[in-house]
Amino acid sequence: MKKRKQDDTGPDAHLGTGGELHQHAHAEHPPLTTQQGIPISDNQNSLRAHPRGPTLLEDFVLREKITHFDHERIPERIVHARGSAAHGFFELTDSLSDVTTAKVLTEVGVQTPVFTRFSTVAGGAGSVDTPRDVRGFAVKLYTKEGNWDLVGNNVPVFFIQDAMKFPDVVHSVKMEPDRGFPQSASAHDTFWDFISLTPESMHTVMWIMSDRTIPRSLRMIEGFGVHSFRLLNAAGESTFVKFHWRPRLGMQSTVWDEAVKLAGADPDFHRRDLFDTLDAGGVAEWDFAVQLFTQEEADGFPFDHLDPTKLIPEELVPLRVIGRMVLDRWPDNFFAETEQVAFCPANLVPGIDFSNDPLLQGRLFSYLDTQLSRLGSPNFTQIPVNAPKCPFAHHQRDGHMQTEQPKGRVNYEPSSLAPDSPRADPNAGFKSAAVDEGGVRGRVRAESFADHYSQARQFFISQTEIEQSHIASALVFELSKVEHVHVQQTIVGHLRVIDERLGQRVADGLGMDKLPPAAHPAKPVQKLPPSAALSLIGNAKDTLEGRCIGILMADGSDGAVISALKKAAQAQGARVKLVAPRVGGVTLADGKHQAADGQLAGTPSVVFDAVALVLSEDAGRKLCREAAAVDFVRDAFGHLKAIATDAGAQALLQAAGIEPDAGVVRADDVKAFLKAATTRQWVREPKVRTLA
């Protein structure tokens, strides 16, 4: 057999009918086998009842692969290890009684307790809060009919179409096994090598490289259930549904340089932000919305809704807001609750059911399996944060860490010895949708899953010019860390299919002499229209609510100006922190002492949404010799934040090399400053950094 050239792994490699990448066999490659030595014929697809059917339990290859993956780390989660969580409630405002029997979705006004955990995906428990990464968004609803776990992310799509590939994508993005780094980062060879050979990932790559994955706050991210689910009504009729969480504060991101510096200034920035908000009596709040559609409507979509690398544009199926979630209480003990909480997408209540999404089908097995490893016992449901808050009864006894003391001699069903022992309820119990799953089983991916570029293109063209530049720059940054040139070239080939100019921009940013050939799509790229809902900047709210303003002061500062700024900002819902050269505070111009909330070197401007400089002329001159003060101003300007200044701060502006623009206003013009502080100064960006 002719030895394969390195370029065969690139964009001209052969794509199968399902879009999966088939590499030509290497003579020196041993056959892939199970742990029992059984050769594997297909490592890309789970065994399904038919191409769009459910995954079969008999798939021992999938079960072995997932089981081993789930047990690779203890006790830390393999993914989503770094998390923060809070208690609160869900309240339904619009009943879905016509399409579901689930009480949590039909009983308006009832407040259902929830526990919600946010997380990064790639990093370990000791990593930082602000890397470029997907954020997990997992909600446990303690309903009257049992626990419902809606386990999603802050992006609506995923890297892979089949759970068979989940260990591979996670292995690729985690620390490289021979060197143990990088931690909590995708900018390295193994990740981009996998992506280059997996064109189905390109849509999610667009989301990852966008501002969505460097959020300003966990309170300002969207949540998506990712998969299609089913709702079942009293007649047994099925309606498909996708679940969405929309932040009441609107979405907001950081800029990349800011995210990097936040990692050093405060590795716990997102966790601290959520804690401080709740500790001060505030809340984090989301609207809960659904997209409802029938099988007939789905048949007319220009994509397959069972494909987890696809979303349903809101222009095609509008969102219907049906409720709200309010988080208002920090956990009493971080380990007992945030660390020990166990989510599983298999936890549904009557009236909700699964779809045949092949990634979801694998998750139904994987999550329970990994909890058995992490928490050490099938009795992990007895941990208070995991226990239902409704009445429950079962025949499961004994096992490691059993803390309950069941009474009686009956631990089976049916039984005639105990008239009060629990039995299945054919009326109120969980029912599955009656769906005909006839077909030819096999390891094959549906043809309808083969379009890997159309929605990636749609996402990119839906972004503002600023956001498109951020995506291109993120790709240049990530790929610049990749040592293997052929991997860079293959990715650029994929990008050219998404948008020719994007591919050119990234190639230019990497210094490529020649544009690599474009990839060959398995299916023609559809010219899907832009979707306004996909832009973060286009949907951001110009508001101070939930934001934080920093005021830099020193001895001799004008207390009246500080007071006016603080009072006005707080009136608009912002938190205000006073920063001083010394943690003990300062003596104001009127001789009064003013305590400080933070010391200058330890409270840089990256932790604020806008800053004010209220300084005497003498203090301004002195601070010009303090690098932390110059960086405080320079970074605020470079991160596109509004800056309020007085006469004493002018020397500091000059030391930082800042030429004032519309976002730099007088400190005594409180109204103008607060208006500028509600948003980033995007027009400033071309003046402060070069983007791809």
Positions marked catalytic? 80, 153
Question: In angstroms, rounded to a whole number, what is the distance separating the alpha carbons of residues 293 and 241?
Answer: 7
Measured in whole angstroms, the distance separating CA 632 from the mean position of its chain's CA atoms is 29
Residue 484, SS3?
coil
Strands annotated E in 277-339: 284-293, 320-329
Q: Is 624 buried (19+), middle (13-18) or exposed (0-12) by CB count in 10 A?
A: middle
Q: How many CB atoms lie within 10 A of CB 543?
A: 16
Backbone phi and psi for residue 113, each to the nearest 5 degrees, phi listed first = -60, 145
Supply the Cα-derived Rg of the chain in whole angstroms: 27
Tokens of 629: 């003060």
Q: Is 354 helix (H, G, I), strand (E, B) or coil?
A: strand
Residues 278, 272: contact at Cβ < 8 Å? no
| Dist. CA 365–CA 353, nearest whole Å | 15
Contacts of 73 (CB under 8 A, 6+ apart): none
Backbone torsions φ then ψ of 495, nearest 5 degrees: -65, -35
CA distance 274 to 610: 18
CA–chain centroid gap for 164, Å, is 21
Cβ atoms of residues 219 and 284 within 8 Å: yes
Contact 146, 390 (CB under 8 A): yes
Reduce the DSSP state of residue 416 to 3 states and report it. Answer: coil
Closest to 11 in 3D by CA, of 527, 452, 516, 526: 516
Cα 48 from chain centre? 29
CA 497, CA 507: separation in Å to the nearest integer?
14
596 in Cβ contact with 578 (< 8 Å):
yes
DSSP assigned state of 430: -
- Give me the sheet containing 548-553, strands edge to edge: 598-599, 575-580, 548-553, 610-614, 643-645, 664-666
Copy the structure tokens of residue 478. Answer: 């990530």
Cα distance between residue 572 and residue 610, in whole Å: 14
Instruction: Give the count of alpha carbons within 13 A of 369, CB side only.
Output: 18
> Residue length, the chain?
692
Among residues 589, 647, 464, the alpha carbon closest in space to that of 539 is found at: 464
Contact in structure between 305 and 240 (CB atoms under 8 Å):
yes
561 phi and psi angles, rounded to 5 deg: -65, -45
- DSSP assigned state of 579: E
116 DSSP β-pair partners: 86, 139
Enter the tokens of residue 280.
Answer: 């001060």
Tell me the H-state helices in 175-322.
189-196, 202-208, 256-265, 269-279, 295-299
For residues 148 and 241, give the distance between their C-alpha atoms in angstroms, rounded to a whole number: 15
Sign of CA dihedral 273, 278, 280, 286: positive
**Tokens 């946010």 identify what position?**
118
Q: Where are the beta strands (DSSP E) in 569-679?
A: 575-580, 586-587, 593-594, 598-599, 610-614, 643-645, 664-666
